Amino acid sequence: MTNKYLSYKHTYKRILDIFLALAFMIVFSPVYIITAIAVFLSDFHHPIYSQERIGKNKKGFKFYKFRSMVVNADEILFNNPDLLEQMRSGTNKVKDDPRITKVGKFIRKYSIDEFPQMFNVLKGDMSFIGPRALRPDEFEKYEAQGSEERKKIDKLVTVKPGITGYWQVNGRSNVNFDKRMDMVAYYVDNLSFALDLKILLKTPKAVIAGDGAY
């Protein structure tokens, strides 16, 4: 592992994260306000949703999103075996999920629901660019699999999870979990400013297209 790699991973990437997060929040501040109001008015409940996720070095953290589901979405999920099985198979998402609100469907399609994660970036829990953050139950499930799968999971937690990343701009939910883990391994093995820049430049097109977002 070269000094150049370590310098970018531990120093310059953090500087880039802070700059990008602050710039994003300033430019899109009207979107934050409009979305918060729209989510609140849809059912008069808090517009921000938080959930435990696994970060770098297997450390848990509170992950923020604009709420795109009904307020008791987690309760519905874990009390519905069929829905839970769909969630845990393949992509870890449910197409046409009945828990998603009308406002939620729109903000998910264009990734607006992920905007509050900029606060996670500023806190240092996440990076602007990196692998998708796993829920604890996802992490435990895949860590319990074979040695090759465990190697990929172990590789994932050597870097901070990201808002956008190699998987996010190459298919999102159309890519199954095994393929996504291969993408994670590739990203970690090739982490560099050039790769992050390539991902960053591809992100707007992926967001506008909305492919694999549900």
Whether 158 has a pLDDT exceeding 80, the answer reads: yes
Half-sphere exposure for 38 (CA within 13 Å, toward CB): 19
Q: Report pLDDT digits (tens) over 106-118.
A: 999 899 999 999 9
The gap between the terminal CA atoms of the chain, to the nearest Å, is 37
Report pLDDT for 27. 97
Of 35-39, 51-55, 131-135, 206-210, the poorest mean pLDDT is in 206-210
State the pLDDT at residue 126.
97
The answer to whether the CB of 41 falls within 8 A of the CB of 147 is: no
The helix or strand, by DSSP H or E, that contains position 49, with its residue range, turns out to be strand 48-54
Which one is predicted more confidently, 194 or 140?
A: 194
Q: Is 93 a residue whose pLDDT tops 70?
A: no
Mean of pLDDT values over 65-83: 87
Q: What is the pLDDT of residues 126-148, one digit of tens each?
A: 999 999 999 898 888 777 777 77
**96, pLDDT greater than 80:** no
